[in-house]
Structures are given as C-alpha cells and as structure tokens.
Structure 1
Amino acid sequence: MTTKVILVGGGHAHLHLIRSLMDEHDDHVEVLLISRSSHQVYSPMLPGFAEGIYTRDQVLINLRTLCAKAGVPFIQREAAYINTRQRKLVCKDGAVYPFDILSMDMGVDNSSSYTKEKRNKNSDMLDTIESLRDSYYPLIVGEGLIEVELALAIQSYKQHNSKKGHVRLLGESRLLPAESNWTYQKVVRILNSRGVQTWENEAVQEVQENYIRTNKKNKVRFTDLFWHGHTVPSKLFLASNLPIDDNGFVKTIATLQVKEHPYLFAVGDSTIMGKEVKRSESETNAAREGELLWENICHYLHGTELGSFHPQKRSYSVLSTGNGEGLLIYGAVSVHNKKAWKVRDKQDQSYMHHLLS
C-alpha cells in the first residue's frame, strides 16, 4: 500500500528533501509538492542579483523542473486549510488532496510590503529590485540584514553602471538588531563610505506618493519605495486550528512534528524554532532540516524512533557589502574584502549546482 506524503511550499528544507529523492526513492511512498508559485528565489543570492553579478536564471529555482528530476508530481495551487480529522488538504480553488503525512515549509509573508507602484507581497522580487536600481532616490525601509545588503548592492550597481542618484535606508530600530554591536558599527561605516543615506530608530507614520514622514517629524523623499514589512507566518496554521503562539508561528517539537499532530511536520521561518534563527544561519539550518525531515518521515512510517533537530550556528558568516566585497565574520575576527565575497559566492553557487544538477 502506498503512503501519500504532501509537501506544502517550496521552502529550502523541502527543496533539499526533493533533491535527496533523486538518489534514494521508496516505491511505497508517494511524495507530492504543492506550491502557489512554480519558481523559488534563492534568497542568499538576491544581493548579488541586485548588484548585477547574477542573472535571473542563476537565482531562480524552477520547482517543476526540480520535481520532474526527482519523480515528484508538482501542483501549482495555494493551500487554504488542513482538515486534520480527515487528513485532507483543501486548496483555495476547492481542490482536495488526501494524505497520510503532510509537511509545511512556506516561509513567511510580509505584513506591509509596499512599493511606489503598489506592488504587494506576491510581486516578483526580481522585478522590484530592477525597478529600485533604475530609480533616482530609492528608499528601502527596514533594519534587517536583507535590507542592508540590498541597499549596499543597489548603491554599488548605480555607481558601476552610471545610474544617477543614491540609495536611502530607514530602519525603524537600530540597523542589524540581530547582530553584535561590533558588527553593526562596522557595517554603518561601510554604508557611510558607500554614500547610502541612513536613518535609524524612526518609525514610519505616514506614506505619501513621494515621501514618508516618521515619528521624529522627518520627511524622507523617494522616487521608489521598498518596504518589506514585518514578517508574519502563514495563515494556513490559524485556518487549520493548529497550535500557534501569540504571533501565529506554529508550535513544533524537536522531531520537526507539529505539537499534538504527529502526522504533520513543519520547518522553516514560520515555526517557533525557525523564527529564532538569524538570517545568516537560516540556510545552513534549512539544509539540515531537510535531511532530518525525510529521515523522520521514514521513521514515522516504520514506527521507529525519530531524531531531534537542534539549530546549529555557523562558524562564520559573510555579509554582502557591494562592490564585489563581503564582510566575513568569524567570532571576534572580521575580514572585509573581495576574497570574503568569493567565499560566499562559491558557497551559494555550489548549493545551486548541487540542487539543480
């Protein structure tokens, strides 16, 4: 008898699981991927794309192609809710898929994603970046790693392609709040040296067609605006009455199973575990989650003991700083040069080659 396993979402842990099925396949297990999009952007390579180093094809993962290589059917639909009693996944268009085991890896949405053209969270991120690069005064609102890296990358693109204007960056708290104060000070110096105009600890109170007003009464003008917003977990958890915390993140246990629902698995940023992981460490943990996820699904099917996952911090991280350079951080030691960027570039390209080959 065939066991039906549904994967909801094309997150990086699921991609790693699907890649592993190219090498090991169980004829008694039928795996199906359901995602609202047929393509997944490999987010660590976004700064390189913004800087003009990578092309679209280099940063996009075609889920249909990947699934076809692994013999996994791909269905482009958006999940609405899970009927946990009958073990059925219901999609927004009414399609219903029964399952024995279901895993969720959808990532997070953004509560206030906004651009001048009113593109929303479902917009093509690559189109958004191209628009910002061509804009005279693009304003990026956000204090996280992705916002800082994009600001530096777009500024670098402008300088190397003779694009007039400069990037503006506004953080509603201190820039890079998840990083050490030492790293923060280093990055601020880099931002200043590259000509990125910054504001910190200023909350947006008003958004108009060509400016925003902050709680400090500053009026920051722009010709294009990117506001990624605060991350919020998938609404699928609430709609399915799954155990969630006050912010909507699904509660999981160390085996990656949803609390009180052993036949449901959840990984990635939308889980209690995932929201505690720094972005610079998330890709490493996603690969490890993908390995353990498939192992634990198989253990669950055979009634054997499941393994536990413990987030692992990387021994080093590399922040993209534009100009083909990176800031490599290893404990209290840092290196800022082109060789540091090449370390990150090699790592990301190796990942994509392994995934797609």
Structure 2
Amino acid sequence: MKTIILVGGGHSHLHCLKKIQPQEETVKWILISPSRYQYYSGMFSGYTEGIYSLEETRIDLDNLCERAGCDFVESTVLSIDPDQQHLLTDKGDIFTYDFVSFDIGSRNDSLEIQGLHTHNLPIKPNYRFPEQIEKLRNSRRTVFIGGGAASIEMALSLKAWKMKMGYEDHAVTVIHSSPLIEKAGSFSSKKMTRVAHSKGIELHKGRVTKVDSTRVHTGEGRTLGFDEIIFLGGPKAPPLLGSSVLQTDEKGFLLVNSYLQSVEYPNVFGAGDCATLQDFPNLPKNGVTAVRQGPVLWKNLTGAAAGGKIIPFEPQNRYLAIMSIGNKEGFLTYGSFSLVNGWAWRLKNWIDVRFVGRYGG
C-alpha cells in the first residue's frame, strides 16, 4: 500500500480530499494541517465587513477527512527529508511517505522592510485570520502595505464595516509603491483608485522602508502613524520550503514542473501559492490558480501512485476575478475589462458560498 501525505488544507488539496473513495485499499491518505479548520480566503473580505459568520467561511478538515477515509493530523510540518521521504512535525512525530504534496499557501510578511516582522499583523496561515480581524476593527488608524487585490479589498471591506458601526473617524490607509491592482491594467487601476477615494480610503504612493512601534517610514521621507499595520504586498514563501533541500525559485517557493512535481524529486508535489511553475514563473499565486490545479494534482498523485499516466497543468491566459469593495458591491475584472456593480458582488457571493458548501456539507 502506498502512502500519500497532503500537507496543508489549501484549495487543491480540498479537491483531492473530495475525490478520495473511502473504500480505497491501495493508497493510505494522510492530511497534516496546523488547524482543524481551513478558512476560505475568498470570504475574508465578507467576514471582515460582517456579511458572513465565522462558521460560513470555514471548512472542517477533520470532518472532510473522516468522510474520505483519510487520516487527519493536527500538526505543523517543520521539515522534510526528501531523500529519506520523512516529514517532521512540531509534535515530534515523523511520517514516512511514498508521495507528498504541499499546498500550504504563503505568508504575509516581508523581511525587506526593517522592523515589519515585529509589528506586522499576520493573517496567514489562514487559521489566524479571525482573531486578527478583531484587532483591525478596534484599530483607529490601520495601515495596509501593498497595492494589489488582497490589500485594497481588505482595506475597503474594513472601511465599510467601520462606516456601518459609526466609526467614521477611524482612518484606513493603503501605502502602495505601484498603481493599485496594476496587473489588471491601467484602466482598471484608475477605476479602483476612484473607488478607493470615494469609499474614504487614504492612499499614499511610496515604498515602505521601515516600521517602528508607532510609525511607518517610506523611501520618500514620509511617515505615517498607525495602531495596526498589515503587509499584503504580495505572497511571500513559507519558510518550510526555503529551509529544505528541495529546489525553490529565487524567492523561496517550491519549484515544480508542469506536472506539479518538484523538479528534483518526482514524488514531491506542490500546488497553490507555495509553488512556482518552472515554465510559467509569473503565473499569479491566487485562489483561481489553486482551484484549477486541484483536478490535475488529483490525477497526478493517484496516477503516480498507481504507476500510471500523469498530465500537465495548462495555465489560462485570462481569468475572472471579483473583489468585494464594500456594501455588497463587486469590482469584476477579466483581462483588461472591469466593471463595478452589485451584480458582480452577487456573483462572487454565489461562487464563494457554493465553494465552501461543496466541502462543508
């Protein structure tokens, strides 16, 4: 019997867990995750705004594993020895595998900004998210670092919650070194800038160089005070992979081929934010990519275990993305096209509720 270990409860692994047949006798499946619950990142903004309850945003991995006939282990993997095919957890347990897959997401931190690590409010791994949102809601001056979709969506959702609660005097600021949602194109970027201003977000153009206990410093010589600060300036590699002997890209993400296999160890797989495709290094690290990798990962893990066929992952050139911008309005982008209305939010809500329901039922 082959042993396949899934490390992390990310989008791609959720698909695999749903596909496992409980009566399967040729493969032993194990999921190792630091929390029983996997919080769905697509609903982070809605939870921040108060639209969803905590229970509506999370998937019970233990229950999902029980239905699949998969062993669930609530631990954090500290290291991997791909030569001996061993994993070491924070509880001192050693697991041996025939095949292992990593879908552990990324982290929201930056070692390039002096002092950030000490004062940053980390919402990843995802199970830390709920407790951190309470801190943001109580913060009178909140600073988000980053101009991408994650940063501006969270800022707008937090601002919407504060306005509903009567905290109009609470400042929500976004510091960004490049145009907002730059990858969506200049037209969408300008539209998002107008939206942010109209919703009361304070925008500051600049690159953060230092963070101390009360102020943010930019390279342009400006300083801003804060009560809470959160870095959402793009995904950063989880330390587990960078500290291993597995080959990574220059940023520390697991380097995988088109079959989602480690370029050096074909029995090690990676999907979602924690991995970089060797042939498509600029592929966005987001939920859309991770969801689309799920079926390929499933076929390749089971195919490899059976000594059968595996298939390549083929990225798409354009994809639909919808951000929540507060008050049940959505900002939809597809390539360079974008629109803002309530219909876009309703579509996002339908997609998100359906996704969680698929694994939580």
Superposition TM-score, scaled by structure 2 size: 0.90
- What is the aligned counterpart of 1:321 among 312, 322, 325? 325
SS in 1 for 2:297: helix
**Where does residue 104 of structure 1 map in the other structure?**
102
- Map 1:338-357 to 2 at 5 A: 338-357=342-361
**Where does residue 309 of structure 1 map in the other structure?**
313
SS in 2 for 1:164: coil
SS in 1 for 2:273: coil
CA gap of 1:176–1:79, structure 2 versus 1, over 3 A, is same
Query: Deviation digits for residues 141-200 of structure 1, max 9, x if unmatched?
Result: 222211100111111111122123231111133322322111100000001111111012
**Where does residue 271 of structure 1 map in the other structure?**
275
**Where does residue 92 of structure 2 map in the other structure?**
94
CA gap of 1:230–1:95, structure 2 versus 1, over 3 A, is same
Shift of 1:44: 1.0
Shift of 1:62: 2.1
> How far apart, in 2, do the equivalents of 1:229 and 1:290 lie?
26
SS in 2 for 1:139: strand
Larger CA deviation: 225-234 vs 171-180: 225-234
- Map 1:129-278 to 2 at 5 A: 129-165=133-169, 166-200=171-205, 202-228=206-232, 231-273=235-277, 276-278=282-284
- Checking the alignment, whether the CA contact within 8 Å between 2:22 and 2:67 is kept in structure 1 is no
Query: Deviation digits for residues 88-140 of structure 1, max 9, x if unmatched?
Result: 22223331111111111111123349699765456822222222123222221
- Checking the alignment, whether the CA contact within 8 Å between 2:121 and 2:230 is kept in structure 1 is no
CA gap of 1:44–1:115, structure 2 versus 1, over 3 A, is farther
- Checking the alignment, whether the CA contact within 8 Å between 2:104 and 2:274 is kept in structure 1 is yes
SS in 2 for 1:31: strand
Shift of 1:313: 4.5
CA gap of 1:110–1:158, structure 2 versus 1, over 3 A, is closer
Larger CA deviation: 300-309 vs 8-17: 300-309
- Checking the alignment, whether the CA contact within 8 Å between 1:256 and 1:267 is kept in structure 2 is yes
SS in 2 for 1:259: coil
Shift of 1:332: 4.9
Shift of 1:275: 6.2
Q: Which amino acid aligns with 1:51?
A: E
Gaps of 5+ in 2: none
Shift of 1:226: 2.0
- Checking the alignment, whether the CA contact within 8 Å between 1:115 and 1:227 is kept in structure 2 is no
> How far apart, in 1, do the equivalents of 2:83 and 2:233 lie?
35
- Checking the alignment, whether the CA contact within 8 Å between 1:134 and 1:163 is kept in structure 2 is no
CA gap of 1:66–1:210, structure 2 versus 1, over 3 A, is same
- Checking the alignment, whether the CA contact within 8 Å between 2:23 and 2:69 is kept in structure 1 is no
Q: Which amino acid aligns with 2:14?
A: L
- Map 1:59-78 to 2 at 5 A: 59-78=57-76
**Where does residue 297 of structure 2 map in the other structure?**
293
Larger CA deviation: 106-115 vs 64-73: 106-115
SS in 1 for 2:217: strand
Larger CA deviation: 148-157 vs 264-273: 264-273
Shift of 1:40: 1.7
Superposition TM-score, scaled by structure 1 size: 0.91
**Where does residue 53 of structure 2 map in the other structure?**
55
Q: Which amino acid aligns with 2:153?
A: E
- Checking the alignment, whether the CA contact within 8 Å between 1:80 and 1:239 is kept in structure 2 is no
> How far apart, in 2, do the equivalents of 1:79 and 1:331 lie?
37
Shift of 1:17: 0.7
SS in 2 for 1:262: coil
- Checking the alignment, whether the CA contact within 8 Å between 1:133 and 1:154 is kept in structure 2 is yes
**Where does residue 124 of structure 1 map in the other structure?**
128
CA gap of 1:180–1:101, structure 2 versus 1, over 3 A, is same
> How far apart, in 2, do the equivalents of 1:333 and 1:248 lie?
32
CA gap of 1:293–1:128, structure 2 versus 1, over 3 A, is same
- Count residues in correspondence: 352
> How far apart, in 2, do the equivalents of 1:7 and 1:288 lie?
17
- Checking the alignment, whether the CA contact within 8 Å between 2:146 and 2:176 is kept in structure 1 is yes
Shift of 1:222: 2.2
Q: Which amino acid aligns with 2:18?
A: R
- Give the alignment's Cα RMSD to 1 decimal: 2.3
- Checking the alignment, whether the CA contact within 8 Å between 2:109 and 2:117 is kept in structure 1 is no
> How far apart, in 2, do the equivalents of 1:224 and 1:156 lie?
17
> How far apart, in 2, do the equivalents of 1:186 and 1:24 lie?
49
- Checking the alignment, whether the CA contact within 8 Å between 1:115 and 1:224 is kept in structure 2 is no
